[in-house]
A and B are shown apart, each in its own frame.
Chain A
Amino acid sequence: MSDEIQSHDSSSTPVRTEPVQDPGLQPHQWRPTDVDPAQERRAERQISGMFTVAALLFVLFAVSYFAIDSDQTFLNWSASNFALGATLGGGLLLIGVGIIQWAKKLMGDHEMVEMRHPARSSAEDREAVMADINAGLQESGVGRRPLIRNSLFLSVGALAVPSVVLLRDLGPLPHGQDETVWKKGMRVVNDVSGLPIRPEEIEVGQLINAEPAVFFPAEGEEEAEVHGHELLAAKSKAAIIVVRMRPEDITPSEGRENWGIDGILCYSKICTHVGCPISLWEQQTHHLLCPCHQSTFDLADNGKVIFGPAHRPLPQLPLGVDSEGYIIAMSDFPEIVAPSYPELARDQKRLDGES
């Protein structure tokens, strides 16, 4: 294109165009250590002093390693960590500073000039390479034998098939994203003690972190029904909070009128945004705030999102009371728990159809 700025050889331009001409490299400036032998010797002593102290620090490192017990503290923190780090770090710093000082004060410091060359290779080289490539192409016959060439492309392209298929067993196909371990009749238990909860135990304004009873050993059992690693997976969907509000403050939407017990409601603890457990409860306003990105849900109004990046309301778990007077779930969550996923709309439709 005509308006590109092309490279030009500035040195061959005869007319002076630049406002100020390059005065050229300035004369070398001698350092104090170049001209004054006393300074030179002092620098030498300083630098070797640093190296010697560094060596001593490394010996001290070894001493600290063996002499300091792991439970000794210094300034309220591991004394061993402090001693090892300070000796190692101090020694390394001294070596570094010493070497740099050596280079700055004592090594020859004459500036050198090297010429640059364009990054591109010479025109002859380029031509020679093109000739070689052409010869290679000619002799291979890629151009003349399209059948071979194209079928080779086909087969190499088809290598994608085994490569992708091999990855199939990285994990199972998506399943079960719309269900949790909750089911009708499962007791709601305190998430620390594992004890079931009676409605009378909860005061107005109180919030209890709770979990399904299967996360704790049943009476007389050693292990819980869900334990070890599966527990984490189940917990990441089944964790709940139970709150009690004044019944007159609550505005249940249609069909949810009997999901609570005298103002006791139960919601998923897992944020519908990206899944943080939510627990910041403002009694006065009935708001539940997610600590991760501050989505705020109104628990008196069906878990509606009133602020923040979450889109779906907090799913609510319908509650009931069993024959012994403990709070139980009346079903699994009727809405999908945890962060959204592409098939969510489809799965939710199915859940709605089932209920």
Chain B
Amino acid sequence: MSTDTYTPVEDTGFGKKAAGPVGWLDDRLGLAGVAKKNLRKVFPEHWSFMLGEIALWSFVVLLLTGVFLTFWFQPSMSEVVYDGSYAPFRGLEMSQAYASTLHISFDIRGGLLMRQIHHWAAALFVGAMLAHMLRIFFTGAYRKPREINWLIGVGLLALGMVEGFAGYSLPDDLLSGTGLRFVDGLIRSIPLVGSYLEFFIFGGEFPGEEIIPRLYMAHILLIPALLLGLIAAHMLLLVYHKHTQWPGAGRTNDNVVGYPMLPVYAAKAGGFFFVVFGFTALMGALVQINPVWAYGPYNPSEVTAGSQPDWYMGFSEGLVRIMPNWESTFLGHTWSWNVFIPGVGGLGLLFTVLALWPFVERWVTGDQREHHLLERPRNAPTRTGLGVAGMTFYGVGWAAGGNDIIATQFHLSINALTHIFRIGIFLFPVIAFIITRRICIGLQRADQNKILHGYETGVIERSPDGSYAERHAPLPVTEQYRLTAHDRLPALEAPAETDENGVALPHGRVAKVRHRVRSFYYKGAIDKPTLAEVEHADEHLAEIEGHPVHLGEDFQGVSETGIPKSH
């Protein structure tokens, strides 16, 4: 192994040459102090920890390809006559923004590729952020001390979606104009100030002449700068808190086990950047996305049927579609609930719930400890159920956003579909919650069985009296530990309503509500076995002597094909 032939870096030729400049830098920046702490920092490993990394790297891809696009893109709404190389449009009037997007696509070599990589990376960026957030949620990684990083994450997700929408609007093709028209309708629906906001944001009545230059500024300067700042804060907090890890042998709440930043983690993460970039580049090469020339320039009196926004806008779109057509007049004003509630309220509600959740859960559980071990989703059945309910809510909204496509694909009536979605948006999440919580509790029970009764080996034994039974064997101790390394359920005592003198306690009512919510939160969850139960089970498993075959140390059970598994 290489450790035998190891030469300290300062004695190598390279080290000797680098010593001067490195020393020069440290004389001025004093970086060795920081580097000493961080170069060999330990990062734990798990596939789900890569989701955030995908988001990070796709953001970098967006920066790189976005800068390329700015070399030619012209954010102007003045009308020009097209004379580029896309023949069908020659002589047509269109905005400069659209003409320059055509120019990038048809006259700049590699321009189309960069546009496509940019758009694929945008879809991946938002998708990876969402998946990453779900992973954080379902494993309880947002718990103390990481609540602030969760909030930063919620901000990143919101900004990412706005950034994506701004980008989608820039080319000023028929689809992006239709999207802007939608946003204009949304803005107008804001009670009391809607018209003012419309005129100020669009620089006049829709479409005005200012919106694309303004969105451009937001898209390439304001929002990327905010994203960059938040991402930096996100990473710094990650390093400060150290990454969470899954419980397991030797992995406790007080340590972190994994590979050092230098070289393994840096190499894997760095390599992963190339993988993400390479993947988006291949997507850009092979799968068409947003072919703006197929839609034509924006024309407020045209629309393409079945026009769809980028996928992450589908949720709002769906809510808007299934909202009843309520509009009312009072105080001499028009209140467009039909647009305002789903359009502004839907995402507003989602982000508010996301931002508040860690604090709500902490209030419910009363848990003030720091958590660095991840929780398996099954061990928090109510949280997992609520998460799946939220996903279902989002999913129903999203599906409703494609109700016309669903209707034509499956030959259903759009009216019937809309009614199903209207009920489903409230009903399906409840069903999803109940089912998920049941499944979690079932899985908890299965874990408990494995510990108390061993696992099923697949070996069928015939007893002297002729009956058959499957032989059980105890789990390896590392596995047993992994399955029991979570918190025990707290004892739920109803709070006292009065003090010892019978006087009502000041916080009596709040405490009662909290107790009720807490009972709901822990309802049905199965606790891990007690020490006594496990000791009893051990004796029991050891006691069944007289097996005809000795299974051996390495035995891991029998697969379906009858071949013994082992590592």
Q: Determine the residue in chain B with the shortest Cβ distance to A92.
A: B278
Q: Is B249 an interface residue (CB 8 A)?
A: yes
Q: Is B470 an interface residue (CB 8 A)?
A: no
Q: Is A109 an interface residue (CB 8 A)?
A: yes
Segment 77-126 of B: residues with Cβ below 8 Å from A: 77-79, 85, 93, 106-107, 109-110, 112-113, 116-117
Q: Is A14 an interface residue (CB 8 A)?
A: no
For chain A, give the interface size range. Answer: 35 or more
Q: Is A45 an interface residue (CB 8 A)?
A: no
Interface string of A64-79 (1 = CB under 8 A from B): 0100001100000110
Docked-complex contact B195 and A343, CB < 8 angstroms: yes
Q: Which of A231, A275, A344 contacts B206 (CB 8 A)?
A: A275
Q: Is A173 an interface residue (CB 8 A)?
A: yes
In whole angstroms, what is the CA distance A277 to B263 when docked? Answer: 58
In whole angstroms, what is the CA distance A3 to B327 when docked? Answer: 48
Segment 164-219 of B: residues with Cβ below 8 Å from A: 178, 181-182, 184-186, 188-196, 198-210
In whole angstroms, what is the CA distance A231 to B93 when docked? Answer: 11
Interface string of B309-344 (1 = CB under 8 A from A): 000000001001111111101001111101100000
With known contacts A20-B477, A80-B109, A269–B368 Cβ distance under 8 A: no
Docked-complex contact A96 and B200, CB < 8 angstroms: no
Q: Which of A5, A21, A119 contacts B240 (CB 8 A)?
A: A119
Segment 512-529 of B: residues with Cβ below 8 Å from A: 528-529
In whole angstroms, what is the CA distance A291 to B308 when docked? Answer: 11
Inside 8 A of B365's CB, which chain A residues have their CB?
5
Inside 8 A of B204's CB, which chain A residues have their CB?
171-172, 233
With known contacts A20-B480, A22-B249, A311-B325, A291–B303 Cβ distance under 8 A: yes
Docked-complex contact B267 and A108, CB < 8 angstroms: no
Chain B nearest CB from A240 CB (Å) reads: 9
Inside 8 A of B201's CB, which chain A residues have their CB?
170-171
Q: Is B139 an interface residue (CB 8 A)?
A: no
Q: Which of B40, B107, B207, B270 contacts A233 (CB 8 A)?
A: B207
Q: Is B281 an interface residue (CB 8 A)?
A: yes
Chain B nearest CB from A30 CB (Å) reads: 10
Q: Which of A17, A18, A209, A345 contacts B333 (CB 8 A)?
A: A345
In whole angstroms, what is the CA distance A287 to B267 when docked? Answer: 62
In whole angstroms, what is the CA distance A307 to B263 when docked? Answer: 62
Docked-complex contact A273 and B79, CB < 8 angstroms: no
With known contacts A25-B249, A81-B116, A100–B203 Cβ distance under 8 A: no
Docked-complex contact A341 and B188, CB < 8 angstroms: yes
Docked-complex contact B321 and A293, CB < 8 angstroms: yes
Docked-complex contact A22 and B481, CB < 8 angstroms: yes
Q: Which of A19, A26, A172, A340 contacts B529 (CB 8 A)?
A: A19
With known contacts A5-B369, A309-B323, A116–B333 Cβ distance under 8 A: no
Most central of A70, A85, A120, A305 by chain B CB within 10 Å: A85
Inside 8 A of A276's CB, which chain B residues have their CB?
178, 181-182, 303
Docked-complex contact B366 and A4, CB < 8 angstroms: yes
Q: Is B530 an interface residue (CB 8 A)?
A: yes
With known contacts A70-B106, A103-B264, A103-B268, A7–B370 Cβ distance under 8 A: yes
Inside 8 A of B190's CB, which chain A residues have their CB?
342
Docked-complex contact B300 and A339, CB < 8 angstroms: no
Segment 228-252 of A: residues with Cβ below 8 Å from B: 228-229, 231-233, 235-236, 239
Docked-complex contact B188 and A339, CB < 8 angstroms: yes
Docked-complex contact A275 and B181, CB < 8 angstroms: yes
Segment 240-299 of B: residues with Cβ below 8 Å from A: 240-242, 249-260, 263-264, 267-268, 270-286, 288, 298-299
Docked-complex contact B193 and A342, CB < 8 angstroms: yes
Q: Is B414 an interface residue (CB 8 A)?
A: yes
Q: Which of B41, B274, B306 contacts A96 (CB 8 A)?
A: B274
Inside 8 A of B369's CB, which chain A residues have their CB?
5-7
Chain B nearest CB from A99 CB (Å) reads: 3
Q: Is B495 an interface residue (CB 8 A)?
A: yes
Inside 8 A of A174's CB, which chain B residues have their CB?
195-196, 198-199, 205
Q: Is A302 an interface residue (CB 8 A)?
A: no
Docked-complex contact B366 and A294, CB < 8 angstroms: no
Q: Which of B41, B241, B277, B280 contacts A114 (CB 8 A)?
A: B41
Q: Is B48 an interface residue (CB 8 A)?
A: no
Docked-complex contact A273 and B531, CB < 8 angstroms: no
Docked-complex contact B281 and A339, CB < 8 angstroms: no
Chain A nearest CB from B239 CB (Å) reads: 12
With known contacts A22-B249, A291-B307, A109–B418 Cβ distance under 8 A: no
Q: Determine the residue in chain B with the shortest Cβ distance to A22.
A: B481
Q: Determine the residue in chain A with the shortest Cβ distance to B273.
A: A96
Chain A nearest CB from B492 CB (Å) reads: 9
Docked-complex contact B404 and A191, CB < 8 angstroms: no
Q: Which of A70, A86, A345 contacts B85 (CB 8 A)?
A: A70
Chain A nearest CB from B176 CB (Å) reads: 14
Segment 1-59 of A: residues with Cβ below 8 Å from B: 1, 3-7, 10-11, 16-26, 34
Inside 8 A of B280's CB, which chain A residues have their CB?
89
Q: Which of A20, A239, A309 contacts B338 (CB 8 A)?
A: A309
With known contacts A111-B259, A119-B370, A88–B195 Cβ distance under 8 A: no
Inside 8 A of B552's CB, which chain A residues have their CB?
none
Q: Is B367 an interface residue (CB 8 A)?
A: yes
Q: Is B415 an interface residue (CB 8 A)?
A: yes
Docked-complex contact B192 and A342, CB < 8 angstroms: yes
Inside 8 A of A308's CB, which chain B residues have their CB?
321, 325, 418
Q: Is B484 an interface residue (CB 8 A)?
A: yes
Inside 8 A of A93's CB, which chain B residues have their CB?
274-275, 278-279, 282
Chain B nearest CB from A147 CB (Å) reads: 36
Q: Is A177 an interface residue (CB 8 A)?
A: yes
Chain A nearest CB from B74 CB (Å) reads: 15
Please provide the 7 A-B residue pairs with the shortest distance between their CB atoms, ordered closest to farther. A85-B285, A274-B185, A96-B274, A25-B250, A89-B281, A99-B271, A93-B278
Sample of 14 more A-B contacts, CB < 8 Å, known A22-B249, A119-B241? A4-B366, A25-B251, A65-B110, A78-B112, A88-B113, A89-B282, A113-B42, A174-B196, A239-B300, A277-B303, A309-B320, A311-B325, A312-B327, A338-B206
Binding site for B on A (CB under 8 A): 1, 3-7, 10-11, 16-26, 34, 65, 70-71, 77-78, 80-82, 84-86, 88-100, 102-104, 107-109, 111-116, 118-120, 167, 170-174, 176-177, 191, 209, 211, 228-229, 231-233, 235-236, 239, 269-270, 273-277, 279-280, 291-295, 305, 307-312, 338-346
Q: List 27 A-B contacts (CB under 8 A).
A: A20-B451, A81-B116, A82-B285, A82-B286, A88-B281, A89-B277, A89-B285, A90-B282, A92-B275, A93-B274, A93-B275, A96-B274, A99-B270, A111-B259, A113-B257, A114-B42, A119-B144, A171-B202, A171-B204, A229-B209, A273-B185, A273-B339, A277-B300, A279-B303, A292-B303, A309-B320, A310-B338
